[in-house]
Structure 1
């Protein structure tokens, strides 16, 4: 009888441990630099928008704020080699601060890679990548759902100018969900629009990763979000955690971490906003 009781106890412990291990697939966001993020979710690792060049590798973006500065303005906080073995890569759009020559050269060409549309997929395939998939409203990586959203990468006035519109092109966000896990929305290079507001309300993510550098194109204003947009997200999703990235790495991003930190304190929302340093890991 004692042996039977002991056996049952061991089985129950094993079942309990198995359940805990399944539920302990912790999610984390590690900001690498700019919009480059290592995202761990559902036991899988995603490398998002890799820009892997050394400091100062490229000239500043012409026609934008501080164009005399070279990009990226800071070094990677980790070795580029440590970023080359994710389960999958996601490229929200192919601007060089999200998908640069160094990443194209260094990343293994057999890795699964998600592009936002057919045009980007064809470009990336031409760069040698073999397993390029196109994000949709209902994409999947194994049992993780990836939902693409539209991101307007500049004002209506900017898109009314054919030359600027061609440069800005299309951008996208990605919403991650999985049963038993918090939902996470990478908003992408977007400005605030009615569509974006609608995405927030419909998706209702637990975590929003927001590109908040307030990048400026001369004569056309911001092409990504700024500090006021952080508060707007909070007003719509008061229980969500907001992770602010895409700052202090590219010439035209004018919002600093300190300015954003001061602002969220002033607004009384600093407990809901995380402003990570390059290399910092956020677990949730």
Structure 2
């Protein structure tokens, strides 16, 4: 398995059989609204898509959405909608989001059960909580996904969330090989953080025995923790060996022994047709929603 960090929460998961694009925010730099209205002069995204994405996008077979409603354009923007629709990309999502995506012309496939059969393994939905306090009803909370595939490391995509008791229990019990964590500490001009803060990042490391891949940084104006900030935090807590902090466009190879090898150039070729045949077979057997 390989993961390529694209930008913010957008990434590509590559397995032996397919490439999955997660939460596509594909807009050009500075073409989306600010998220800090009083303390920012920059429009989003703050950076362009890396060239790596343009190399890899032709290999994408499927998409996976953690949440996308209530104007959460950093997980699915107009450019992302256009690209998924234009290329007829089967997009896995929650039942809550399926109708919304289908109305936009995206071939959405709802994951109807908490744990669903997913290619050669399973995918489990883990509730996410995007903030606390008075902002809660205004946010789209979505889910994270725990993916277990045959002969691949287990992977937990947290989605946009703070650290909740549900997530604490899940991580302690399941011990994913790799966790993709939203470490950017997004925060509006008012209210509390919308993603993991410094204390929660450190606590997550104490709960997990696996590697933590940090993302959701350096691309949106309301994210308060940068890659440099996170590196300094991890140095202070002697945790640098527990985290991987990929740059945009960087590909990380994951293995069952939790020993990642990083490279700037994506490797391997797509076997999307194999994956498509698997999905067709699974649908016929009634094991995929």
Distance 2:15 2:173 in 1: 21
Match of 2:218 among 241, 248, 257: 248
> Structure 1 residue 190 and structure 2 residue 161: aligned?
yes
How many Å apart are 1:155 and its aligned residue?
1.0
The Cα offsets for residues 71-117 of structure 1, whole Å up to 9 and x where unpaired, read as: 10000012655425422100101110010100111224532111123
Preserved contact between residue 213 and residue 247 of structure 1 (Cα < 8 Å): yes
Distance 2:33 2:197 in 1: 24
Counterparts of 1:195-234 in structure 2, within 5 Å, are 195-234=166-205
Distance 2:178 2:198 in 1: 17
Match of 2:126 among 140, 146, 149: 149
Higher relative contact order (CA 8 A, sep 6+): 2
Match of 1:102 among 79, 100, 111: 79
Preserved contact between residue 66 and residue 252 of structure 1 (Cα < 8 Å): no
User: What do you get for the CA RMSD once the two structures are aligned?
Assistant: 1.8
Query: Which residue is equivalent to 1:30?
Result: 4
Aligned CA distance change for structure 1 residues 146 and 182 (closer, same or farther; 3 Å)? same
The Cα offsets for residues 105-151 of structure 1, whole Å up to 9 and x where unpaired, read as: 12245321111233x11111011112432353222332131111100
How many Å apart are 1:224 and its aligned residue?
0.6
Query: Which residue is equivalent to 2:62?
Result: 88
Distance 1:268 1:206 in 2: 20
Query: Which residue is equivalent to 2:99?
Result: 122
Query: Which residue is equivalent to 1:76?
Result: 49
Give ranges in structure 2 of 5+ residues lacking alignment.
255-289
Greater Cα offset, 97-106 or 82-91: 82-91
Query: Which residue is equivalent to 1:175?
Result: 146
Aligned CA distance change for structure 1 residues 208 and 175 (closer, same or farther; 3 Å)? same
Distance 2:249 2:83 in 1: 19
Preserved contact between residue 209 and residue 243 of structure 1 (Cα < 8 Å): yes
The Cα offsets for residues 26-48 of structure 1, whole Å up to 9 and x where unpaired, read as: x1111000000011135321100
Give ranges in structure 1 of 5+ residues lacking alignment.
1-26, 160-164
Structure 1 segments of 4 or more deviating over 3 A? 65-68, 79-82
Larger Rg over CA atoms: 1
Distance 2:104 2:130 in 1: 24
Query: Which residue is equivalent to 1:3?
Result: none
Preserved contact between residue 32 and residue 78 of structure 1 (Cα < 8 Å): no
Preserved contact between residue 29 and residue 38 of structure 1 (Cα < 8 Å): yes
Query: Which residue is equivalent to 1:264?
Result: 234
Q: May I ask how many residue pairs the two structures share in their alignment?
A: 249
The TM-score normalised by the length of structure 1 is: 0.82
The TM-score normalised by the length of structure 2 is: 0.81
